[in-house]
Amino acid sequence: MIRLRIFFQRLRGLFFKRGRELDLDDEIRLHLELQIEENMRQGMGAEEARQAALRKFGGVAQIKENYRDRSTLPAIETVFQDLRYGLRMLRKSPGWTAVMGATLALGIGLTTAIFSLAYGILLRALPYASLQYEVWNVTSGANEACTARISNRQILETIVRTGGRHAFATAAA
């Protein structure tokens, strides 16, 4: 349950970054001010107290970076940044974008057409119940031909099962 809550908090952190950054800045400033006041009560000067507070607190930039990593999902944030960058680059060069888009559309269309044709010819059964084929066993040297009534699916299964070592031809009726 705790992990789920943490996940949703990190997911929310992706979309409400500005408010969290301001809260973090206020929190860091408050901690530094309290430490400076503590140092000044111990007898340090203002600048010396500030330097000592910064040393004790640690690197502000590292703390902010660590907080950002813990309050968001860095992998998803990186993907969003890459998408924004990619879209910016596509807007910058519309000619290249058009050529790339046309190439992708042509490639996807041709691939779909080829696989639709292969499915229609090889994988989907023909409208006939069964055809008569002569089957030759290619692995043996002899001409072992036999005539059988088998379906297209059986032919495909035989080719796959035997690694293509059988040849098929339509027999004369």
69 and 143 belong to one structural domain: no
* Pairwise CA distance, residues 55 & 147, whole Å: 91
For the chain, helix (H) and strand (E) counts, in that order, are 7, 3
**Mean of per-residue pLDDT scores for the chain:** 76
CB atoms within 10 A of CB 53: 20
148 and 79 belong to one structural domain: no
Helix (H, G, I), strand (E, B) or coil at 58: coil
Helix (H, G, I), strand (E, B) or coil at 148: strand
More confidently predicted of 70 and 141? 70
68 and 144 belong to one structural domain: no
Residue 57 lies in a domain: yes
83 and 147 belong to one structural domain: no
Task: Please determine, for residue 132, whether its predicted confidence score (pLDDT) is greater than 60.
Answer: no
76 and 20 belong to one structural domain: yes
Domain that holds residue 166: 131-170
Provide the CA 156 distance to its chain's centre, in angstroms.
Answer: 34
- Taking only the tens place, the pLDDT of each residue in 46-83 is 888 888 888 888 888 888 877 777 777 777 788 888 99
Residue 164 lies in a domain: yes
